[in-house]
Amino acid sequence: MLRCKYYRPEAMEPIEFPKSDVTILEGHTSDVCVCAWSPTRSLLASGSADSTARIWTIAEGKSNLDSKNDPLNVLVLQHATTNEPKDVTTLHWNGEGTLLATGNYDGQARIWTANGELKSTFNRHKGPIYSLKWNKKGDYFLTGSSDETAIVWDVQAGKWKQQFECHTGPVLGVDWRNNVSFATCSTDTMIHVCKIGEDEPIKTFAGHQSEVNHIKWDPTGSLLASCSDDNTVKIWSTKQDKYIHDFREHSKVIYNVTWSPTGPGTNNPNKKLVLASTSLDSTVKLWDVELGKLIYSLNGHRGDVYSVAFSPNGEYLASASLDKSIHIWSLNDGKIIKTYNGNGGAFEVCWNKEGDKIAACFADHKVCILDFRM
């Protein structure tokens, strides 16, 4: 029988972030669905259903509340091509933090400079883009769309490199394994590993019973985690066809999986590699993939948990829920150490590179910056 530790929120009172540690960024006019810190600078990108992405310059060190609405601190990236708003569905910085790629409900991908200038528009998908990722080298980025295809785009050439048509349903998630190969997942329950230059998948993983919502390679590119509407998390190895772990402890749809920045291939090689999963059952679960068991079930939210992110040192976890709260958990004991309650459902949460700021985006059109120092 698996042994796991359960944290019950009534056991302690988490500390609310004081107002002096909270900066609210206003300007979006609809739900803010995605956000991402630059990997090199104190810039935060956000994407909204209002047809814009924004790049915010965030003061380093303690946030300056007086500058939160200074127009000089935000660049507005307009995506609207018609009067009908089209959601910015996904965004991702390149590794150097010089370019931001955005995916849109209009089916177009765009690349912007860190100064907010539109560099390129990529138009080949015949439906909304749901996922987008740069490769590590930064010469290609990858998109997955409702048109059932994934496309690799050549950034230098400014056009598509190869279109992959191996799914029979919308492509919900994409993730690079290395600079030339990647995985895709779909509503068709299948996961394919593809390689630039190859017409057919080099590996196919079948085992989920419902649509696969998200996939993520571990830091070494040897294990792939997937999560599904079938309430399971599965771990796959490129060395075999069948999954090596089938985690069934969630009771509802699993929305997201992410690996800790720990273990081989990371900046924290002496810490154990951990996988986190978020679910509509209101929990976050942490998995020991090496031993194939549950470490913690984090039971502090009262609504669907959409997003989770590890701190850069792998010691803390931030989670965002439709219950309007952001929780910060200690991975030493699985307890909430700080919490923030917004005025709308929280869609995504992310840490800056220093690990001293957490950004979150909300359904009430706001983006929030939390100062975090333990």
Q: In this predicted model, what pLDDT tens digit does every residue of 141-186 receive, in sequence order?
A: 999 999 999 999 999 999 999 999 999 999 999 999 999 999 999 9
pLDDT at 85: 72
pLDDT at 25 over 50: yes
Question: Beta 212-217 vs 335-341: how paired, if at all?
Answer: unpaired
pLDDT at 65: 47
pLDDT at 374: 73
Q: Please give the mean pLDDT across all residues of the chain.
A: 93
pLDDT at 14 over 80: no
Q: Report yes or no: 136 and 150 within 8 Å, Cβ to Cβ.
A: no
| pTM across the whole model | 0.93
Question: 36: Cβ–Cβ under 8 A, 6 or more apart, which residues?
Answer: 44, 45, 91, 92, 93, 350
pLDDT at 18 over 80: yes
Q: Report yes or no: 165 and 152 within 8 Å, Cβ to Cβ.
A: no
Q: In this predicted model, what pLDDT tens digit does every residue of 266-299 receive, in sequence order?
A: 999 999 999 999 999 999 999 999 999 999 999 9
pLDDT at 4: 36
Taking CB atoms within 8 Å and a gap of at least 24, the contacts of 151-154 are: 151/122, 151/124, 151/125, 152/182, 152/196, 153/109, 153/122
Q: In this predicted model, what pLDDT tens digit does every residue of 85-110 receive, in sequence order?
A: 789 999 999 999 999 999 999 999 99
Query: Which pLDDT band, with edges at 50, 70 and 90, does 12 fall under?
Result: low
Query: Which pLDDT band, with edges at 50, 70 and 90, does 1 fall under?
Result: very low
pLDDT at 238 over 50: yes
Using DSSP, state whether 66 is helix, strand or coil: helix
pLDDT at 70: 65
pLDDT at 5: 35
pLDDT at 344 over 90: yes
Could you give the CA distance from residue 173 to residue 132 in angstroms, rounded to a whole number?
8
Determine phi and psi for 193, rounding to 5 degrees: -105, 125
Question: 122: Cβ–Cβ under 8 A, 6 or more apart, which residues?
Answer: 108, 109, 110, 111, 143, 151, 153, 158, 159, 160
Where in the chain are the domains? 5-371
Could you give the CA distance from residue 99 to residue 303 in angstroms, rounded to a whole number?
34
**How far lies 132's CA from each of 102, 171, 257, 345, in Å?**
7, 11, 16, 23
For 334, which DSSP code? T
Over residues 134-143, the mean pLDDT reads 98
Q: What is the CB neighbour count within 10 angstroms for residue 303? A: 14
pLDDT at 236 over 80: yes
Q: What is the CB neighbour count within 10 angstroms for residue 154? A: 15
Q: Spelled out in words, what is the top-level CATH class assigned to the domain 5-371?
A: mainly beta
With tokens 């209002």, the residue in question is 50
Query: Which pLDDT band, with edges at 50, 70 and 90, does 39 fall under?
Result: very high
Query: Which pLDDT band, with edges at 50, 70 and 90, does 69 fall under?
Result: low
Question: Beta 367-371 vs 22-25: how paired, if at all?
Answer: antiparallel
pLDDT at 362: 98
Look at the alpha carbons of 297, 302, 308, 312 in this order and tell me if their dihedral is positive or negative.
Answer: negative
84 or 266: which leads in pLDDT: 266
Over residues 219-238, the mean pLDDT reads 97
pLDDT at 8 over 50: no
Query: Which pLDDT band, with edges at 50, 70 and 90, does 11 fall under?
Result: very low
